[in-house]
Structure 1
Amino acid sequence: MTAPAPAPGRAALLLGIALGGFFDGIVLHQVLQWHHLLSGLERVRDLRLQLLADGLFHALMYLLALLGLALLWRARRALSGPAAGRVLGSAALVGFGLWHVLDALLSHWLLGLHRVRMDVADPLPWDLGWLAAFGLLPLAIALWWRRRPPPAAGPGPGAGHGRSGAVALGLAALLAGPLAALPAADADQVLVVFAPGTAGARAFDALARLDARVLWARDGVWAVQMAQPHQAWRLLGDGALLVGQGPLAGCLGWTRPAPR
């Protein structure tokens, strides 16, 4: 006896949450650089810990995206129904909006991990505007979409929307992950995180071999200027844990903090 195909809504919900996290990480952590994940915690001032927290956050989004894609594949037999496209789209919007609502309630206000903008005198209007645009609006659209009259059963226009919606949702997740891992394309300033205990002389020697000029160093994070930043990966064999260039640079490759 063939087991019934799982409903695709759960997969779309997880993918919507992952896309919401990727969106926040790419826009707020990387492009705009308005905050790190733990920017609001006074006791966490070590830049290395801030970057590590950002990396763990993105790793969690990758896990959610992979789980959502796996569930979506298992639910592929249920994608031919006339309402499958609407289920997928509305569930993804719920996940995207839910992420921003929970982020506002927990990270911004209850736990105080960060605010949308950490560099303004009054961050509340930015929190509320971000919540309305990317949290409440997607939830309202999803609710409206779910309340629309269901399409007629059987084959015909709309019957293939589930499959096309699944392809679009899967591609969005598969593209968002690599985008979150890419560094800024035009950066000649590279951040390098050296392992704790790495002697300064060893770090300077490794940087000198790549003709890198030290701009500043803080909390084990070194900012260097390199004529060939794509060669920064070679520092990984000389005491560096992470470098802000390469296909997995992520937030580190976009961060441009000023020296303290």
Structure 2
Amino acid sequence: MDSNRKHLIRATVVIGIGLMAAVDEIVFHQLLAWHHFYDRSTPAVGLFTDGLLHAVELIAVVAGFFMYADARRRGPIDRNAAWGGFLLGAGGFQLFDGLVDHKLLRVHQVRYGVEDLWPYDLAWNLAGVALLIIGRALLRRSRRDA
């Protein structure tokens, strides 16, 4: 794998992580108010941790786009590699959040106040797996085409 392709994939993985974290934070933390990043304390602490998550996701997106701009400067962009990296980052974030944050560390759940949590957990984690599978397929196609 050439150096620029690796750089491009790293850049788009970082962008994918940052943007999926932003979707989670904006949609599930703010708009739907299903949870905060850290729900094992007061609502003020939950709001504070949402702010920290927002800061980290913004840094990731900005850093990823700087890395992407550098990859573009180095040579042509392989769209399949770029989208594959993006989806790997997004799916990786989603699955990490669903398994580590929700189940292992229990910093928050997908949703509170529902009788059965498992459909939410299943949908959350399957969405992450689907993104990973599609991302991996795009990276394979990219490698095959190169």
Question: Could you say whether these structures have the same fold, taking a TM-score greater than 0.5 normalized by the shorter chain as the test?
Answer: yes
1:7–1:78 contact (8 Å) kept in structure 2: no
Identity across the alignment (%): 34
Cα shift at 1:77: 3.0
Aligned length: 142
Q: Which residue of 2 aligns with 1:60?
A: 56
1:8–1:79 contact (8 Å) kept in structure 2: no
Higher helix share: 2
Runs of at least 5 residues in structure 2 that lack an aligned partner in the other structure: none
Query: Structure 1: which amino acid aligns with 2:87?
Result: L
Structure 2 residue corresponding to 1:136, chosen from 129, 134, 141: 129
Comparing 63-72 with 11-20, greater Cα deviation is found at 63-72
- Work out the CA distance in 1 between the residues paired with 2:130 and 2:74: 28
| TM-score calculated relative to the size of structure 1 | 0.51
Q: Secondary structure at the match of 1:75?
A: helix
- Work out the CA distance in 2 between the residues paired with 1:76 and 1:148: 20
Moved over 4 A (4+): none
Q: Which residue of 1 aligns with 2:66?
A: 70
User: Which deviations, in whole Å up to 9, do the C-alpha atoms of 1:124-161 show, x marking residues without a partner?
Assistant: 2211111112x01111111222233733x6xxxxxxxx
> Does 1 or 2 have the higher relative contact order (CA < 8 Å, sep 6+)?
2
Q: Which residue of 1 aligns with 2:33?
A: 33
- Work out the CA distance in 2 between the residues paired with 1:11 and 1:125: 33
Q: Which residue of 2 aligns with 1:165?
A: none
Cα shift at 1:79: 4.6
Tell me the C-alpha RMSD between the 2 structures: 1.8
- Work out the CA distance in 2 between the residues paired with 1:113 and 1:124: 17
Runs of at least 5 residues in structure 1 that lack an aligned partner in the other structure: 154-260
What does residue range 40-189 of structure 1 map to in structure 2 within 5 Å?
41=40, 44=41, 46-80=42-76, 84-133=78-127, 135-148=128-141, 150-151=144-145
Cα shift at 1:95: 0.2
Higher strand share: 1
1:96–1:138 contact (8 Å) kept in structure 2: yes
